[in-house]
Every structure is written in structure tokens, then in C-alpha cells.
């Protein structure tokens, strides 16, 4: 492996001794982020809290530009702008004056182990005690009920008592998953939350999921973060979804079926998993799995064509 230190640099005015923080929020994109859960939350944190960039990664070594081409602006007879991608470490301050770190940018296409080793160096150098990540996954759940999460961590001590939705499964890898794995192997605390996003809303912006992720982040870290704007956005989107679905009989029927399944599960009358069902009008577990796999293939295809 090449030297991980050569992948990043601190900004000229950033003294590592002065930017230390106990929490690192890792927002590194990934293969799937249903409902824009992570993206919307990241934007909310940066827009509603004081922050500064303290370090940046050399993305030229990490991204496949032809796989996902950055946007350029052409004005009449010349190129006028280039939306250059960036992977940067922000130092953000919450409302109580407590700093935390936010690593945000596109998921690297190359050198995952080297990037992970570089982040572990930053975690050690900047005094990070807990690394947290969030993202959305498509699930057969209704938007009219509270959204669930699948929490995961390097140690059960961070989770407490939880009732898993999944058993042992294999999924496409992500650098966020690899980072959590390597942090655990290094004896460091890391955890994450996969928010269950209604599969029929997975490709739209769904702030409700980001709000659930926000609350999970606050619960895990104790940070005092601004919530109102995200909650307002979630309410507005919820009203828009209700209006649009009111005229769609097929989706409305699906939502009613999912509501019945959800309510039965919550009342303890059915199987111990939201994915297992015997109701004829609700998709079977195999059908749901096939839908999720098709969604993931579609996201992957769109990424290659971008």
C-alpha cells in the first residue's frame, strides 16, 4: 500500500492540535442512499451550523471521472465553469459550541484500503472517539408510519438492545462499511444507521428519512444540532407525497397493504420480520428482495451512464 498520508493535506490555516473533536460523521456516499437520506442530512448540517474545511483529499487519485463525469458549463462559445468534485473534512460547531468533524464527498472509486487507512490516521490524530455514518435503504414499508432503522456498530455496547430486521446477508460493499469494519479491528468505536425508506420513494428526495437519521445521530452523539429546518422540509415533502399519491390508485393500494403489514408486525401478531409476510396482497419476501436487487442494479447502471 502507498503511504496513506500522501492522500490528504491539512489546510494552511488548520492546526491539527486545534481542530480536535470527539465525533466524526462520515458521509462518503455509497452504492445506494435511498431518499437522499445521507445527502440531505449532510447539506442540512453544513447549511445550519458554523463550519470550516480543515483538510482535503486528493480526489484525482480516487475517482473514475469517466464513470461519473463532473458537470461543466458551456456558455455560447467557451467553457466557463467546472464543478470539481471534492472530498473534504469539515470542522462543524453545534449550538452549544461543541465541535465535531464531518467528512463529506463522493465515495472513492479506487484505493479503498488506502483511503480507510488515511481516515484512521485522522481519527487518531484528531482525537476522534466515535465515528458515525447514516444512509437510506429501500424497504417495503409505508411512508405513513414511523420509519425504522437498522443500527450497526463495532461493538454491542454502542447499540444496547435492538431487534434486528435482517439475519446474515451479503450486500454490495461500500467504503463506509469498510471503514466501520477497519475501525472495529483497530479497537475504535464506530456505528451507523440504515434508515428504512419506502421503496416507492427511494429515488426521490425524502427528508423524513434524513430526519430519522438526524435524530439517530443526535441520540448517539449528544450533539446539540439545529433540527427545525429539516423538520419543516420533511413536513412539506410529506404533504406533497400525500397529494401526489391521492390520485394514484395503484400506489395507494400498495400503501394500504404495507400499512396493514406494518401494523400487524408492530402488534406482534405476525412474523418477527417486516420482510416476512403471508398476506396475499403484500409482496412476498422473495418479491421484495427482487425489487431491492432491481433497484440496486438500476442505481448502478445510472452511475455507469452518468
Q: Is 199 helix (H, G, I), strand (E, B) or coil?
A: helix
* Interval 185-225: pLDDT, tens: 999 999 999 999 999 999 999 999 999 999 999 999 999 99
**pTM here?**
0.84
pLDDT tier at 296, thresholds 50, 70, 90: very low
The domain limits of the chain are 4-305
Lowest mean pLDDT among 168-182, 220-234, 256-270: 256-270
- Contact, 225 vs 100, CB < 8 A? no
Superfamily of domain 4-305: PAC-like subunit (3.40.50.10900)
Shortest CA distance to 263 belongs to which of 146, 164, 152?
A: 146
* Interval 125-153: pLDDT, tens: 999 999 999 999 999 999 999 999 999 99
* Interval 249-281: pLDDT, tens: 888 888 999 998 888 877 774 444 444 433 334
pLDDT tier at 291, thresholds 50, 70, 90: low
pLDDT tier at 236, thresholds 50, 70, 90: very high
| Inter-CA distances, 38 with 27, 111, 152, 209, Å | 7, 22, 16, 9
Shortest CA distance to 108 belongs to which of 191, 18, 7?
A: 7
Q: Is 129 helix (H, G, I), strand (E, B) or coil?
A: coil
Rg (CA), the chain: 20
CA atoms within 13 A on the CB side of 53: 13
Instruction: Give burial (CB, 10 Å; 0-12/13-18/19+) of 297.
Output: exposed
Amino acid at each position: 500500500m502507498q503511504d496513506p498520508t500522501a492522500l490528504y493535506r491539512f489546510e494552511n490555516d488548520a492546526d491539527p492540535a486545534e481542530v480536535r473533536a470527539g465525533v466524526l460523521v462520515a458521509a462518503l456516499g455509497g452504492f445506494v442512499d435511498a431518499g437522499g437520506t445521507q445527502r440531505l442530512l449532510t447539506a442540512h448540517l453544513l447549511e445550519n451550523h458554523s463550519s470550516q474545511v480543515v483538510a482535503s483529499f486528493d480526489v484525482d487519485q480516487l475517482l473514475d471521472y469517466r464513470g461519473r463525469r463532473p458537470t461543466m458549463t458551456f456558455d455560447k462559445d467557451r467553457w466557463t465553469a467546472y464543478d470539481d468534485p471534492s472530498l473534504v473534512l469539515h470542522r462543524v460547531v453545534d449550538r452549544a459550541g461543541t465541535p465535531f468533524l464531518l467528512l463529506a464527498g463522493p465515495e472513492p472509486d479506487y484505493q479503498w484500503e488506502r483511503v480507510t487507512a488515511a481516515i484512521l490516521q485522522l481519527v487518531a490524530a484528531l482525537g476522534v472517539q466515535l465515528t458515525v455514518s447514516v444512509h437510506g435503504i429501500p424497504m417495503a414499508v409505508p411512508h405513513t408510519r414511523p420509519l425504522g432503522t437498522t443500527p450497526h456498530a463495532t461493538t454491542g455496547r454502542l447499540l444496547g438492545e435492538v431487534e434486528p430486521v435482517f439475519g446474515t446477508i451479503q450486500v454490495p460493499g461500500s467504503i463506509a462499511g469498510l471503514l466501520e469494519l477497519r475501525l472495529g479491528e483497530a479497537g475504535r468505536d464506530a456505528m451507523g444507521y440504515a434508515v428504512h425508506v419506502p421503496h416507492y420513494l427511494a429515488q426521490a428526495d425524502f427528508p423524513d428519512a434524513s430526519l430519522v437519521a438526524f435524530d439517530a445521530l443526535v441520540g448517539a452523539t449528544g450533539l446539540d444540532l439545529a433540527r427545525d429546518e429539516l423538520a419543516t422540509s420533511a413536513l412539506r415533502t410529506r404533504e406533497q407525497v400525500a397529494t401526489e399519491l391521492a390520485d394514484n390508485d395503484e400506489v395507494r393500494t400498495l400503501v394500504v397493504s404495507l400499512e396493514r403489514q406494518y401494523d400487524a408486525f408492530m402488534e406482534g401478531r405476525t412474523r418477527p420480520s417486516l420482510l416476512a409476510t403471508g398476506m396475499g396482497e403484500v409482496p412476498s419476501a422473495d418479491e421484495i428482495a427482487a425489487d431491492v436487487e432491481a433497484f440496486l442494479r438500476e442505481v448502478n447502471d445510472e452511475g455507469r451512464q452518468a
